[in-house]
């Protein structure tokens, strides 16, 4: 590749495939759906249900959750306040890359600290970051205890567990609150899809 300054290289050096072109290619905008709530509140379940619906509508989607983040990118982090903050920081960075890649990104993490979530929100343009609070009382989550983790937390085998030995700060003004304690999954899913429609994510459809 010639190093002549007039060479086409100079032009090519920058990205020519922009977010706008990806959006046109996909026929939808790329936004972040940030699900927050207690362990067992149904964040992953709802995120995957929404993803299924979006895929059927030919959208490009991806779910970031404990399964694909905690064992990989953040495998070096624990659950101290500092590590939780770094965990959320990295997730936000990946979410930004996914957004730039044109993908509707759904994140399903407890993300208990308000300041961490606000820091994430600040990194996105208005309307790009949609915070969805999966509201479900702690006792309901504990009763479900799908992973048996509340039992361990009560026994002191799991330290700094949100709701038991570490705080959860509920969103003050989220884009959507879903009642994952009482509403059916289908209904919760529809509410999220409706939010996306309202926010103009399905452009030109």
Binding residues for a copy of itself, per CB under 8 A? 1-3, 7-9, 12-17, 21-22, 25, 42, 44-46, 48-49, 51-52, 55, 58, 60-64, 68, 72-73, 90, 93-94, 96-98, 100-103, 136, 140, 143-144, 146, 180-181, 183-185, 188
Decide whether 36 or 45 has the Cβ nearer to a copy of itself. 45
- Within 8 A by CB and 6+ apart from 59, the residues are 26, 28, 104, 202
Decide whether 53 or 158 has the Cβ nearer to a copy of itself. 53
Decide whether 68 or 165 has the Cβ nearer to a copy of itself. 68
The least distance separating a copy of itself from the CB of residue 181, rounded to whole angstroms, comes to: 8
The least distance separating a copy of itself from the CB of residue 79, rounded to whole angstroms, comes to: 19
The least distance separating a copy of itself from the CB of residue 4, rounded to whole angstroms, comes to: 10
Decide whether 1 or 155 has the Cβ nearer to a copy of itself. 1
Query: In terms of Cα–Cα distance, which of 5, 54, 63, 75 is closest to 32?
Result: 63
The least distance separating a copy of itself from the CB of residue 52, rounded to whole angstroms, comes to: 5
CA dihedral sign, ordered 190, 193, 195, 198? negative
Burial 138-170 (b: 16+ CB within 10 A, else e): beebbebeeeebbeebeeeeeebbbbbebebee
Query: In terms of Cα–Cα distance, which of 41, 38, 62 is closest to 111?
Result: 38
The number of helices, as runs of H, and strands, as runs of E, in the chain is 9, 5
Q: Give the span between the Cα atoms of 201 and 30, in whole angstroms.
A: 7
The secondary element (H helix, E strand) that includes residue 65 is: strand 61-65
DSSP letter at 39 equals T
User: Annotated catalytic residue: which of 39, 44, 49, 111?
Assistant: 111
Active site residue 166: no
Would you please indicate which residues are annotated as catalytic (active-site) residues? 111
């Amino acid at each position: 590749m010639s190093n002549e300054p007039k060479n086409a290289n100079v032009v090519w050096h920058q990205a020519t495939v922009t977010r706008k072109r990806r959006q046109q290619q996909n026929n939808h905008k790329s936004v972040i759906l940030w699900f927050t709530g207690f362990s067992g509140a149904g964040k992953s379940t709802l995120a995957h249900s929404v993803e299924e619906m979006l895929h059927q509508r030919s959208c490009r989607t991806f779910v970031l959750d404990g399964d694909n983040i905690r064992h990989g990118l953040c495998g070096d982090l624990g659950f101290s306040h500092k590590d939780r903050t770094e965990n959320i920081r990295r997730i936000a960075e990946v979410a930004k890359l996914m957004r730039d890649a044109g993908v509707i990104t759904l994140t399903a993490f407890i993300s208990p600290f308000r300041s961490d979530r606000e820091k994430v929100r600040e990194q996105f343009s208005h309307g790009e970051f949609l915070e969805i609070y999966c509201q479900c009382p702690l006792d309901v989550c504990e009763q479900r205890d799908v992973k048996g983790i509340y039992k361990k937390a009560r026994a002191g085998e799991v330290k700094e567990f949100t709701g038991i030995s570490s705080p959860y700060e509920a969103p003050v003004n989220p884009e959507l609150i879903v009642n994952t304690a009482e509403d059916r999954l289908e209904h919760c899913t529809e509410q999220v899809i409706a939010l996306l429609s309202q926010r103009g994510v399905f452009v030109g459809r």
